[in-house]
A = this chain, B = another copy of it.
Amino acid sequence: MGYVQEIGRKAKEASKKVQFFGQSEKNEGLEAVARELRQQMGYLLVENDKDVKNARAAGMKPALIDRLLLTSQRIQAMSEGLEQIAMLEDPVGQMERVKIRPNGLQIGQRRVPLGVVGIIYESRPNVTADAFGLCFKTGNSVILRGGSDAIHSNKAIVKVIRDGLAKEKLPADAVLLLEDTDRAAVTEMMRMKEYIDVLIPRGGAGLIASVVENSTVPVIETGTGNCHIFVDESADLKMAVDIIENAKTQRPGVCNACESIVVHSSIADKAVPLIYERLHQKQVEIRGDERAVAIEAGIVPADEEDWGTEYLDAILSLKTVDTIEEAIEHINRYNTGHSEAIITKDYDNALKFQNEIDAAAVYVNASTRFTDGHEFGFGAEIGISTQKLHARGPMGLEALTTVKYIISGNGQTRP
């Protein structure tokens, strides 16, 4: 049995134990790992430093190096993250939709773990501890495959998690790292249907497309967000500009940040200069259509490619439209099924937008930045699903579970 298969087999074996752990065992495990991360902080910093030095030598951009960097504060935050997960309610074991059928059969759906979760991600080492915590809390084992940039950090974090579990006599194979970061190894992982129950890719559009293309394991697509804000003709312009500023600049590199503004032409003369002025103060470049450029000379002409681009940067596109129908058509054509907002005072248009936009989260008069497991009150988040099956939008603990029907009878046969 090859290395990747062996990882799969071990994870499956561990999941057969982890699935039956009660809340107290799982929470004690999480707390033990949280302690271990703090105790082995020196080791984690030394190992992370190897990745950071390699990245600098390879000429990686400062923003990406910052994503890779661990500090004592960040390790402390990782550790606290696990303690917070321990405090959440465990969905496993909950019974739903219990009923008694006319023939006396009692039928209900019980929440159970998925089994083995595979996470394929890029260079943020904090995902390593976080993904373990959410999977362990829900009775799953997890196979992690991080990027080669973060390999020393990920090896170290997984070693420390396993040490913490072992101290509590819990199965260390509840978390396994695919240390071979070659493409062939990850492709093999994507096809291990016998060992892995679901794959969650977390990262850029290229990574996600590659997983969807190659995987035979069911995939939950996450993350890419070409999110729009439509400023309707009845919008409160002060509210519109405040929300646009927040959605674009509060954290530009994340998937729920606004990437494109759509403005009703009947208010464009007033709205476009206000939007431009506020975003210009924040060093945001606007790429607009002809009408937008005609109104405000500081706007750069957009081309077709801009409408479909998730910049994840201090840039956004601006499109003018003559009707709400045109706005909806444009957004449904270019969006990625993540988060879309309308700013309006018109009741019919608010309902129409929420009805007709096809996305995981559709807002009226609020920032797209709220699409987040914590902001939605789930207490945790394993990713934001942009697909329609199983989970859509922010995924909390429940998305890491499935159900099974539990049927209790006293001799029923089918007539």
Measured CB to CB, the residues of A under 8 A from B are 20, 99, 101, 105, 107, 114-115, 193, 197-198, 212-213, 216, 218-220, 236, 239, 242-243, 245-247, 250, 350, 354-356, 358-367, 369-371, 375-377, 387-390, 392-393, 402-414
- Asked if B404 contacts A362 (CB within 8 A), the reply is yes
Which B-chain residue is minimally distant from A219 (CB atoms)? B218
Given contacts A212-B216, A366-B105, contact A114 B388 (CB under 8 A): yes
Given contacts A107-B376, A239-B411, A414-B250, contact A406 B365 (CB under 8 A): no
- Asked if A369 contacts B413 (CB within 8 A), the reply is yes
Residues of chain B within 8 A (CB-CB) of A404 are 358-362, 392-393
Q: A298 → chain B, closest Cβ, in Å?
A: 24
Given contacts A101-B375, A377-B99, contact A220 B389 (CB under 8 A): yes
Residues of chain B within 8 A (CB-CB) of A412 are 365-367, 370
What are 16 contact pairs spanning A and B, CB under 8 A? A99-B377, A101-B375, A193-B212, A220-B389, A242-B413, A246-B413, A358-B404, A365-B411, A365-B412, A367-B414, A370-B407, A370-B412, A389-B389, A389-B390, A393-B404, A393-B405
Q: A20 → chain B, closest Cβ, in Å?
A: 7
Residues of chain B within 8 A (CB-CB) of A364 are 407-409
- Asked if B388 contacts A198 (CB within 8 A), the reply is yes
Complex CA distance for A192 and B130, rounded to whole angstroms: 34
Complex CA distance for A276 and B396, rounded to whole angstroms: 50
Complex CA distance for A135 and B168, rounded to whole angstroms: 50
- Asked if A390 contacts B392 (CB within 8 A), the reply is no
Residues of chain B within 8 A (CB-CB) of A99 are 377
Complex CA distance for A100 and B243, rounded to whole angstroms: 19
Which B-chain residue is minimally distant from A414 (CB atoms)? B369
Complex CA distance for A356 and B212, rounded to whole angstroms: 31
- Asked if A218 contacts B389 (CB within 8 A), the reply is yes
Residues of chain B within 8 A (CB-CB) of A402 are 388-389, 392
- Asked if A365 contacts B408 (CB within 8 A), the reply is yes
Q: A382 → chain B, closest Cβ, in Å?
A: 14
Further contacts, 17 of them, CB under 8 A, given A107-B376, A389-B389:
A101-B375, A105-B366, A114-B389, A115-B358, A193-B212, A243-B413, A250-B414, A364-B408, A365-B408, A365-B409, A366-B408, A366-B409, A370-B407, A370-B414, A375-B414, A389-B402, A393-B403
Complex CA distance for A403 and B404, rounded to whole angstroms: 21
